[in-house]
Amino acid sequence: MFKKFSSEEVSAQNQVKASVQRKIRQSIAEEYPGLEPVMDDILPKKSPLIVAKCQNHLNLVLVNNVPLFFSVRDGPYMPTLRLLHQYPDIMKKLQVDRGAIRFVLSGANIMCPGLTSPGGVLDDEVEAESPVAIMAEGKQHALAIGFTKMSAKDIWRNLIEDVVRAAMAT
């Protein structure tokens, strides 16, 4: 989504009122409880908060002209990769194996085998439709941020069903 993002794609920038700023801070604090100790450093109450509206229903939250969070179609606020690299423990993580790295960086969706094969790590507490940081085997920083389509339990259940079907077919 942001690979070829430029300033020409911003259609409007507005400094938000204090009430809207509180609502955004509250929404981010609820979504990412790990940010609570550093919330005042990331989103200072006295600094102006700017919301930039972009194409494809994308909203960017800027503080001091630095994009910190984004949301698509009034969905939940997601941290930018730069912010996630500074505070890596604010989101749940999934890890893909080495073979998936180049495809994920090219914009491909992550398939279940990339998470369940050797080198992949799947957190059992991840629920469906939850934001996650995508880590890569052998790498320190996240390479993507996304939403899960199904829970970790459903991913394992589908994998086991596929293995049983394959064993029955032979």
Task: Residue 92: name the closest of 136, 32, 5, 27 by CA.
Answer: 32
| Final residue belonging to a domain, choices 46, 80, 114 | 80
Q: Last residue of a domain, which of 80, 113, 143?
A: 80
Report yes or no on 2 lying in a domain: no
Give residue 127's pLDDT. 85
Residue 1 inside a domain? The answer is no
Residue 104's domain comprises: 91-167
Q: Is pLDDT at 99 greater than 70 in this prediction?
A: yes
134 contacts 110 by C-beta, under 8 angstroms: yes
- The pLDDT value recorded for residue 6 is 58
C-alpha distances out from residue 58 to 2, 9, 69, 117, Å:
10, 10, 11, 34
The pLDDT tens digits for 67-79 are 889 888 878 888 9
Lateral strand order in the sheet of 78-79 = 10-15, 49-54, 58-63, 66-72, 78-79
In a domain, 76, yes or no: yes
- Render pLDDT for 5-25 as a digit per residue (tens, 0 to 9): 556 667 677 888 888 888 989
Judge if 45 and 17 occupy the same domain. yes
pLDDT value of residue 60: 87
pLDDT band at 32 (very low <50, low <70, confident <90, very high): confident
Residue 139's CATH number: 3.10.400.20
The reply to whether 31 and 97 lie within a common domain is no
pLDDT-derived band at 167 (thresholds 50, 70, 90) equals low
In the predicted model, is pLDDT for residue 166 greater than 60?
A: no
How far is residue 119's CA from residue 133's CA, in Å, rounded to a whole number?
A: 16
Both 104 and 152 in one domain: the answer is: yes
pLDDT the model gives residue 169: 60
User: Using 50, 70 and 90 to split pLDDT, how confident is the model at 114?
Assistant: confident
Complete DSSP assignment for 101-127: HHHHHTTPPPPHHHHHSTT-B--TTPP
CA distances from 81 to 37, 128, 154 (A): 19, 21, 27
- Residue 98 above 80 pLDDT? yes
- Residue 71 sits in the same domain as residue 121: no
pLDDT digits 0-9 by tens, 119-139: 878 777 888 888 888 888 888
